[in-house]
Structure 1
C-alpha cells in the first residue's frame, strides 16, 4: 500500500513538473511573439499594410498568453524549484515588453496621425488585462512564501504596459480628432457610411479573471481579442480610406 502511494506521489510530482516545463516554454513563446511586435512597430511608418502587420503580431501575443493561461489552469501547483526555473524566461519577457512598449511610444505620433490612437489603446488594455490575469493565475499556484516575489518578478512588464497606456491616453485627442473630422467630411461628400466599433475600457493591471491580451483567467479572451485587435485593423482600414 505504501509502495503504491509512493508511486502515485512520484507520478503526480512528475506531472506537475511537466506542466511547469510547458509553462516555461509558453512564456518563451510570449517573448518571441512580443519581439515580433517590436519588429513590426519599428517598421511602421503609417502604411496600412504595416498597421495590419502590427495587428497580426499583436494577435500572436494574445494567442501565446492564452496558451500559457491554459497551461497554468491545468497545473495544480508550482513548487519552489520549478518557480526558480521560470525566473529567467520571465526576465526575458520583461525585457521584450519594455522594448516593445518603447517602440510603440516612439510611433505614437504616427498612429495618432492615422487616427489609430483609440484602437491602440484598446489593444493595450486588452493585453494588460490578459497579462494581469495570467500573472494572478501563476502567483496563485506558487507556495505562499513565494507569491510576493512571483508578483514582483513580472512587475517590469506591467509597468511598461501602464507606461504605454499613459502615453497613448495623453495623445487621445488632436490627430485622431482631425482624422475623425476628415472621415466624416469624406463620408458626407461621397455618401459612404463608416461604422466604428465601440472601444471597451479594460483595466491595465486590474483584471477580472477574464482575458484576452497579453492579452488572465482566460474566460472572455476571445471576445476581448476580437474587439481589441479588430478595432486596430478596422481603424487602419478606415484611416486608409
Structure 2
C-alpha cells in the first residue's frame, strides 16, 4: 500500500520547499509501483526526471507526522512539486511563537512559553512536536517527560502528538537544563488534498491502495 504526501516546508508565511513524497508498507517496492503506473511516472516527470537515485530518497525522519507508523515504511522517495496550489488554498500555515520572555530559574533551567497556531488548515488529523536538545521537562502529561525516542537513527528526541482543529491554539512550555538550544520540529498532517495532489492520486492503478495527505513541516530553535 503506497503512502503519498504533499510535503510543504515553510516559514510563518512562505514556502521554503514543496515536494511529493512516497513510501510503501508492503513487499512491492516503489520502483515496481512506478514502473507499473506509467501515468504517475509521467505526471512526476513533468516536474523532474523520474529517478530512483540516492538524491531522490526521502529522509524517513520527515514522516514524523505518522510516527510510529512510519517505522513500517519500506523506502521513501520524493520529487519536486510546485507550491502554487498550496499558496492558493492556504492563507496561513501552522507555526510556533514565543508567548512570553524566556525565564531562567536559579538552577539555570530555561523555560520557554510557546503557542502553537494551526493556520488555515481545514481537515487536520494530527500535529506532532519532535523535540531534540537539552529538554528537562514540559507542560504536557502533567509535566511528566516521556521516554525519548529515536527516529530513523537520528538523535534521541521527545515526541508529542496533539489532536485538534485549526481554530484551536495550543499554549505550553518547554524547559531546558542548559544554554544549548532546543530544536522543535512541527509536523501537521492535513487530510485535505489540493487539486494537483488529487489528480496524482487518481492516476495510480486500481490495485494500488493509496493513502494520501498533506504535511506541513517547520523547524524552530529556542
Give the TM-score normalised by structure 2.
0.23
Give the TM-score normalised by structure 1.
0.22
Higher helix share: 1
Pair member with larger Rg: 1
Higher strand share: 2
